[in-house]
Amino acid sequence: MDSPVNICTSTLPAFALDDCLELAAGAGYQGVELRVRGDYHVSLPRLYCQCDQIKRSIEAHRLELTVYNTYYGVTNDGAIDALMRICQRTGVRYFRVTLPRAGKADIGAQALEEAVVPSYEHRARPAEILRSVKASLQSLAKRAKAAGVSALLEIHWGTVMSSFTSAHYLVGDLDPDAVAVTFDPANMVIEGKEDWGYGVQLLREHVANVHIKNVSWLREGGAWKWRWDGLRRGMVDWPQLFRLLADAGYRGMFAMEDFRVPQNFDEALVHLRELREETRSLLRQGESRQAA
């Protein structure tokens, strides 16, 4: 089976949106997670005014618009209300919102390249932060359910939701049709990893999206550092993950989030095609392990 794979436009900061769509279509991806932020690719005010036009442009490339990938926190009611109206107008079910940073997100200082934590600062004691986030998510779930849309929360290093257990604590009692989870194994290798099989089963009802990329830890200058790596070379065993997801009955989205894309268009196209073919191969390997 060749599962559809979308692409996160957040991995393509060097390209205008039209070029991103050409790259995605030319490399064999089925849809896009559209970055919604002022610097690239679409700001929320522009999206609010031009969402129909932007969606038509994406569909003209024979791509599906799957997720509005935003950087707004769960407490930003104004932005979230706007996003829910945009989702209703365009028929896009999912929009991502962010969670507070965990402390100073010190793990980011161990990156060998620039790394961004999609998050916001909440100054309070850890227990108070978690109580506040749960209350915000309960409110969000009611509003999203009423609007017929779904908020996505990403398991991400440096945030209060970097592990399966923290994700279950925050969303386990919420309607998965209203608040769902993006499972990102590479993020969890950086910080938060627990047993893969345990976690996939724990969150099986809430996982609606899986980000595909890889990462490695290495010694650099006498200290441990992490960097993005190839799908086969990094520390995430993707055939194992694909097998575990299949065993759990996963039927949700996959999205490529490899941040090593070259800035030259032709080189980027080759890189993205290679990633797509590699993903097909890794999926087949996972199916073989399942059959065995």
Residues 114-172 pLDDT 10s: 889 999 999 999 999 999 999 999 999 999 999 999 999 999 999 999 999 999 999 99
Q: Please state whether 206 falls in left (phi above 0), alpha (psi between -120 and 50) or beta.
A: alpha
pLDDT at 233 over 70: yes
pLDDT at 291 over 80: no
Confidence tier at 173 by pLDDT (50, 70, 90): very high
CATH number for the region 6-104+113-214+235-291 comes to 3.20.20.150
Q: Could you tell me the two tokens for 172? A: 């386990």
Question: What average pLDDT does the segment 259-267 reach?
Answer: 98
Contacts of 151 (CB under 8 A, 6+ apart): 74, 80, 94, 95, 96, 97, 140, 141, 144, 178, 179, 180
Question: What average pLDDT does the segment 255-265 reach?
Answer: 98
| DSSP H helices in the chain | 17-26, 44-60, 77-90, 126-147, 164-171, 185-190, 196-202, 238-247, 265-291
Q: Could you give the percent of the chain with pLDDT greater than 90?
A: 95
Question: What average pLDDT does the segment 206-215 reach?
Answer: 98
The reported pTM is 0.97
What's the CA gap between 87 and 136, in Å, rounded?
Answer: 20
What's the CA gap between 7 and 254, in Å, rounded?
Answer: 8
CA dist 171 to 46, 182, 263, Å? Answer: 31, 12, 37
**155 with 170: CB under 8 angstroms?**
no
Q: Could you tell me the two tokens for 146? A: 């009423």
Hey, what's the torsion of the CAs at 131, 94, 16, 98, to 10 degrees?
A: 0
Q: Could you tell me the two tokens for 238? A: 């993707």
pLDDT at 289 over 90: no
**Taking all residues of the chain, what is their mean pLDDT, rounded to a whole number?**
96
pLDDT at 179 over 60: yes
Residues 68-85 pLDDT 10s: 999 999 999 999 999 999
